[in-house]
Structure 1
Amino acid sequence: MGKLRPGEAEQLAPVHTGRRHPLRGLLLLLWTLLNCGLGDNAQGPGEWTPWGSWSRCSSSCGQGLSVRSRRCIRFPGEELCWGHTHEYRLCQLPDCPLGAVPFRDLQCALYNGHPVLGTQKTYLWVPFYGAPNQCDLNCLAEGHDFYHSFGRVLDGTPCSQGSPGLCVAGRCLSAGCDGLLGSGAREDRCGRCGGANDSCLFVQRVFRDAGAFAGYWNVTLIPEGARHIRAAHRSRNHLALMGGDGRYVLNGNWAVSPPGTYEAAGTRVVYTRATGREETLSAAGPTSQDLLLQVLLQEPNPGIEFEFWLPQELYSPFQAQARALGWPLWQPQPREVAPRPPEPPAAPTVILHQTPTPTSDPCPPCPDTRGRAHRLLHYCGSDFVFRARVRGRLRQAQETRYEVHVQLIYKNRSPLRALEYVWAPSRCPCPVLALHREYLLAARRLISPDGTQDRLLLPHAGYARPWSPAEDSRVRLAAQHCPV
């Protein structure tokens, strides 16, 4: 690879050689017109011919290369063409069968039984990989402590054992994402070859919700198509990952998974847990389905950092779905309230009548949780789905307890009693259950690590729909789409 040497370019000169090629005559006419019309002796570079076709692969199995070439056509006094005369691309064939002789071994074996060192003595040669230039044919004499270099290896020879690079004209070259050897082309964070990270958006947040009790809390939805995913924190809590089918990939069902590599959503998830309570989760992507990142809280949450890249066309649907499911894209930072200066004591007054001033409800509006995707996700990922009538409600410091009368059970992983308590993790639960109304509820069983609490949990923005015959049909249909 490289520029043409002066002798490699085709010279076009105004000489008669008998029969003239039509293209040569046309180029000569253009050259004459340019010289006469412009009156300028400065000449630009020559012109390349179109690329030829790609050659056959240099190997019959495994990795090899194919090559194509072009020529530079220039007039006398013109500079050489800018660029390369040859291009090489990687060709990937089916793996070689077991026992196949490697390409470099075959090249060394060509010198077996032939005197090569100026004597009549012959040797058996095998590859030697300890020489400085790995693209030279360095062969070791079997049974002896010396090697000999027989020049360059043939183009397409692997640079070393297990190396992805191939030797071309004595140089070790690796293929870029465009398949061309030595091009240096790389995928950007969006997965585009040679891109500039302008076709995707970078999502980076910190989940700071402290949680009201021990258990699983949603951190973020990782949508289909996400790349370069990473989440990290430093605490005794554990990251958990759930697939779109409602099954846990990591740290589910109160069991801590060992560090390692896991297959999920068409990508490999690398899970590490280092000393100092640091835990990380990373995946290259792209993901083939949605994933739900959760945290199993055992102590107050110091903050979970997460990030991923998402194609621009998928960002708006991700925002809408995340809001619908109640998974915040960012956490509001707490604000410190400045203390008010003390007010001077007022003169005593006699209050004859005081009317209570109505105060607005401090609870924010709940997110929209309608849609088939929301129903499927919570139905398949829940432990219990049942129809119940709300009999009572008690708001405590950081949670709400509902007393419900169970009337019909669609799904249960353990027995349910006629009267149950359902807990919601907030004084402002979403959705709000009205007294004396019937709902279809999807709840999860929450057992504290010490085994002292066993609750039915209604997740924030979970599945709680007013019962109706139509909703009854929909929930029965959802059961058919959950994995067995």
Structure 2
Amino acid sequence: MIPAGATHIRVTDNSKNYLALQNGRSQFVINGNWKISIPGEYNVAGTKLVYRRSADTWESFEVPGPTREDLHLMVLATDRNPGIEYEYWLPPDQYALYHGRRSPLRQAHHTANYLPWDRPATTARTTTTTTTTPPGLLLSPPDHTGRQRQYCQKDFVFRARVLGKLYRGEETRYDVQIIHTYRNSFRLEHREFLWAPNLCDCPHLEEGKQYIMMVRRHINYEHTLNRILLEEDSYVVPYRPREDELLRPLETLCRNRGPKRPAELRG
């Protein structure tokens, strides 16, 4: 359930299943009732919802909010569910009401649960939580001598273009386009959010420019939520051909690349 008042709602799925959404009156507003909606814009809970679906099974909801009623995220299951990623934001008073007063780092949501699919399509309900933000840490400039160490230790090493930046509470969220992956222990999409627990632009990333980044995945205590985190010691440098040449040989030293390598983009 996504409570009324939520903002910046983002849900993604990459399977043969279909996302579905119910309003607070248990009425399907996207998919459901054995019908599949066409991608586009919908008026849901007093705000606009953008529904996207590609030919290769990728699917998403994006809702700026705030919502005027509770929303219930569902799955029309025709296949095993590899995981749905979702996130939303709540005002502090509403967060305390729904989730208590714990305050780990805010993070994007991820689930890996699925229901058996003995029927052509079944509806499975999912739930979500949000968290609040601790005081941010200032990020220092990257330690260039730690290139090899971080290449082997961090979960992701990639080249990315910064598409946008948004300040949320005491954090900074970067919207980036993944252009090339050198190493990834976990799946990456073509576009991802990176989170820095500060507002100081540390490290300083300019929109439209490309960078080499070595970052890690952050998972909450319950192992239900995850996000890509820019840490204090994250290796982040502007992209240049020389940096690419220095990184290529490191692949032979760190052979724990993830089993799923995302398709790479040109640019």
TM-score by length of 1: 0.24
Bigger RCO (CA 8 Å, 6+ sep): 2
Whose strand fraction is larger, Structure 1's or Structure 2's? 2
TM-score by length of 2: 0.42
